[in-house]
A and B are shown apart, each in its own frame.
Chain A
Amino acid sequence: MAEPLDDYIDAVTKALALPVEEAWRSSIRANLEVSLRLGRLVDEFALPDETEPAPVYTV
């Protein structure tokens, strides 16, 4: 039975020309589920529109 993320994985695989084999799918799906769950945790946090990314400390 197809998993909820399978169509999405198929679409991105095609869009990025990634050679995903069927045997890797469940592991990729499991990793993507963790990333999306943690991404949602970040997404839920309200930030002001003016917030800038902060990659580097300045002196």
Chain B
Amino acid sequence: MTTKPEMTASEIASAVAGRKMSALDATEAALARIKQHDTILNAFTDITADRARAKARAIDADIAAGKTVGPLAGVPFAVKNLFDVAGLATRAGSKINRDRAPASRDATLIERMEAAGAVLVGALNMGEYAYDFTGENVHDGPSRNPHDTTRMSGGSSGGSGSAVGGALVPIALGSDTNGSIRVPSSFCGIFGLKPTYGRLSRARSFPFVASLDHLGPFARSATDLALAYDAMQGSDADDAACTTRGLEPTTPLLANPVSDLRIAIAGGYFQTNLFPEAVEAVGRVAKALGATRVVDVPEAARARAAAYVITTTEGASLHLDRLRKRPNDFDPAVRDRLIAGAMVPAPLVDRAQKFRRWYRAQLAEMFKSVDVLLAPATPCTAPKLGQVNFNLDGVELPVRANIGIHTQPISFIGLPVVAVPVPLEPLPIGVQIIAAPWREDIALRVAYALEKMGVVAVPSPRGF
């Protein structure tokens, strides 16, 4: 059996486990695609070819010996370069971190993906220290949109979006503090899961904002997203915020009907600051699901403001010593935002964290009568690389700071979200499927149903 560029992870795993394809063939095919296309996409910063081949050979040996292999056997994947990869310095998109000693152990989520049989093929480009929505990077160059390489991949997990959207790998991992999984998913036209805050271990990944940091997967189908998510679940004493809840597998529940779910459209704040394509995308998804009820999310603008304040101040605190010692080695735009963050008075940060409690209680009340909330993932399709401003509701605003205005009020209280790709022309755009805390299964179920209906789909890359 030959490999095809757009084989899903589940197709690869099934072929490998069924001895129709070797794990080494699947790995070599991914490495060949990366070699052929990454000179344009610039999604990868490190390619771990030797490690990948060794892992693939070990899987093939297990299969030959009749041993049981995991649900991701032979599936190539890659990780945002803020995940520790044994033997590599964890650069986190920065110049400064390249001076760190190589990591001695993989991040927990890499260990869990590999325990399920997946094969790590490399580390991915990202915005410096994850303080970014564009996918641009002054040190490594921008990761590019696979549907139009003159456009942004979205950030900060830009390489993850570009690599999966460009079909270089079927699965990638990224992080999401304010939207950094959902924004690249939207711009690159792929599925992305930001789980509940605390659900997946962040151990041995480089942090940004401890109060808001999440890790999660990207994929080219809802099934693959669920497979990767299920493989990574589980408590971890190495992450203080990681839940001790038991495993809650979602893959067996994917095909359950969605007709019993109470699905609503987020109103008010979430229906403003949108380009027509974002309105169209939410409308298509709502219509397919029969959702007509609109619910207002109280104080969403203030939630976004509070997320902004917590982000800039916790980020500044994290980098304070680097700002003192190596200010000229930062991207100047990131440096100046972090220095300004260090100057925000502490009472405003405390009030932002307390407002978070109030806001969380309001949404918990809302989720008593709603199972799923639909909202735009981004205000627009992918802007041009280097684009500085866009016009939202008649106001000229900076692109960089405003791409995540619809994602920030959701991650602020850690709600689980699947970003689903609506294949509009000429460019795709995402919609957020938002569920109550710990109900990733519901968001994934809705994503799967929409995919089966043909309303959401990952377009073939056509930008290169």
In the bound complex, how far is the Cα of B348 from the Cα of A47, in angstroms? 13
B390 CB within 8 Å of chain A: no
Report whether B332 and A27 are in contact in the complex, using a CB–CB cutoff of 8 Å: yes
Complexed CA–CA distance, A27 and B302 (Å): 24
Given contacts A19-B324, A27-B336, whether A42 and B306 have CB atoms under 8 Å apart is yes
A-B contact pairs, 23 of them (CB 8 A): A18-B339, A24-B332, A24-B339, A27-B332, A27-B336, A31-B340, A32-B343, A34-B401, A35-B312, A35-B341, A36-B344, A39-B348, A42-B309, A42-B352, A43-B347, A43-B351, A45-B351, A47-B355, A52-B357, A53-B353, A55-B210, A55-B353, A57-B198
Min C-beta distance of A28 to chain B, whole Å = 5
Q: Which residues of A contact B350 (CB under 8 A)?
A: 53
Please give me the 6 A-B residue pairs with the lowest Cβ-Cβ distance, nearest first. Answer: A31-B340, A54-B357, A53-B353, A39-B348, A38-B305, A27-B336
Do A54 and B312 touch (CB < 8 A)? no
The contact of B245 among A43, A51, A59, by CB within 8 Å, is A59
| B191 in the interface (beta carbon within 8 A) | no
Decide if A12 touches B342 in the complex (CB within 8 Å). yes
Kindly provide the distance from the CB of A50 to the nearest chain B CB, expressed in whole angstroms: 10
16 new A-B contacts, CB < 8 A, other than A24-B336, A39-B348, are A12-B342, A16-B342, A18-B339, A20-B339, A28-B336, A28-B339, A38-B308, A39-B351, A41-B301, A42-B309, A42-B355, A47-B355, A47-B358, A51-B357, A53-B354, A54-B357
**Known pairs A43-B351, A54-B360; A35 contacts B245 (CB<8 A):** no
Q: B95 on the interface (CB 8 Å rule)? A: no
Chain B nearest CB: distance from A44 CB in Å? 8
**8 Å CB contacts to B: which residues of A1-59?**
8-9, 12, 16-21, 24, 27-29, 31-32, 34-36, 38-39, 41-43, 45, 47, 51-57, 59
User: Is B437 an interface position by the 8 A CB rule?
Assistant: yes
Q: Is B55 an interface position by the 8 A CB rule?
A: no
Find out whether the CB atom of A43 lies under 8 angstroms from the CB atom of B353. no
Chain A residues near B309 (CB-CB < 8 A): 35, 38-39, 42
B340-396 contacts to A (CB < 8 Å)? 340-345, 347-348, 350-358, 360
In-complex Cβ contact of B351 among A8, A35, A47, A57 (8 A): A47
Instruction: Mark interface residues in B298-338 (1 if CB within 8 Å of A CB, else 0).
Output: 01011011101100100000001001100100001101110
* Chain A residue contacts of B211, Cβ below 8 A: 55
Shortest A56–chain B CB gap in Å is: 5
B354 touching A57 by the CB < 8 A rule?
no
Cα distance A52–B350 in the bound complex, in angstroms? 9
Q: How far is the CA of A20 from the CA of B335 in the complex (A)?
A: 10
Report Cα–Cα, A54/B360, bound state, in Å. Answer: 8
Judged by a CB distance under 8 angstroms, whether B197 is at the interface is: yes
The distance in angstroms between the C-alpha atoms of A52 and B197, with both chains bound, is 18
Which residues does chain A contribute within 8 Å of B344, judged by CB atoms? 32, 35-36, 39
- In angstroms, Cα B244 to Cα A41, docked, is 35
The reply to whether A56 and B197 form a contact with Cβ atoms under 8 Å apart is: yes
Q: Given the complex, which residues of A lie within 8 Å of B166, measured CB to CB?
A: none
Residues of B within 8 Å of A35, CB to CB, are 308-309, 312, 340-341, 343-344
| CB <8 Å contact, A56 and B324 | no
A26 to B24, CA, bound (A): 54
B354–A52 touching, CB < 8 Å: yes
Contacts of A21 in B (CB 8 A): 327
At the interface, yes or no: B241 with Cβ under 8 Å from chain A? yes
Interface status of B432 (Cβ within 8 A of chain A): no
Question: Is the pair B335, A53 in contact by a Cβ cutoff of 8 Å?
Answer: no
- Output the least CB separation between B239 and chain A (Å): 11
B306 to chain A, nearest CB (A): 5
For the complex, give the distance between the alpha carbons of A27 and B332 in Å: 9
If the complex has contacts A35-B312, A41-B301, are A55 and B356 also in contact, measured as CB distance less than 8 A?
yes
Q: Flag whether B192 is at the interface (Cβ < 8 A).
A: no
Q: Is B196 an interface residue (CB 8 A)?
A: yes
Least Cβ–Cβ distance between B103 and chain A, in angstroms: 26
What distance in Å separates the Cβ of A25 from its nearest Cβ neighbour in chain B?
9
Contacts of B341 in A (CB 8 A): 31, 35
A57-B363 Cα distance, complex, nearest whole Å: 13
Docked CA distance A31–B309 (Å): 11
Docked Cα-Cα span, A12 to B212, in Å, equals: 26
Contacts of A43 in B (CB 8 A): 347-348, 351
